[in-house]
Amino acid sequence: MKKIYLFCSAGMSTSMLASKMQETADAHNLPIKVAAYAHNKLGEILDSDRPDCILLGPQVKYMYDETVAQYGKEGIPIAVIDAGDYGMMNGEKVLKSAIKLIKQSK
């Protein structure tokens, strides 16, 4: 099972997007788990439950470089969610881009 984890400042709005992405994955019978967390939990989660893809909410875009510097060497793709897709809560499009990132990182 692939794990796609979304991180933002508090994990609130990303959890709505995460559940839309999960609905899309389930509808297509994809073995994917999508979850959302607060950005300050990132290190803790990587230690206990390694994701296959890390997505940052647009509101923590400024933390992208820092996140890559800290966790990029883990070999996990890290990206910022497109602000338009985020605003529209387009779970399908965000899920597709995450799957593409996982494939490219192999």
Annotated catalytic residue, options 4, 5, 7, 8: 8
Render 45-96 in DSSP notation, one character per residue.
HHHHS--SEEEE-GGGGGGHHHHHHHHGGGT--EEEPPHHHHHTT-HHHHHH
Q: CA distances (Å), 74 to each of 47, 58, 71, 78, in order? A: 11, 22, 6, 10
Q: 103 pLDDT exceeds 90?
A: yes
The radius of gyration of the chain from alpha carbons, rounded to an integer in Å, stands at 12
What pTM, to 2 d.p., does this model score?
0.94
Q: How confident is the model at residue 12 (pLDDT cuts 50, 70, 90)?
A: confident
pLDDT of res. 106: 77
pLDDT of res. 11: 59
Q: Does the active-site annotation cover 53? A: no
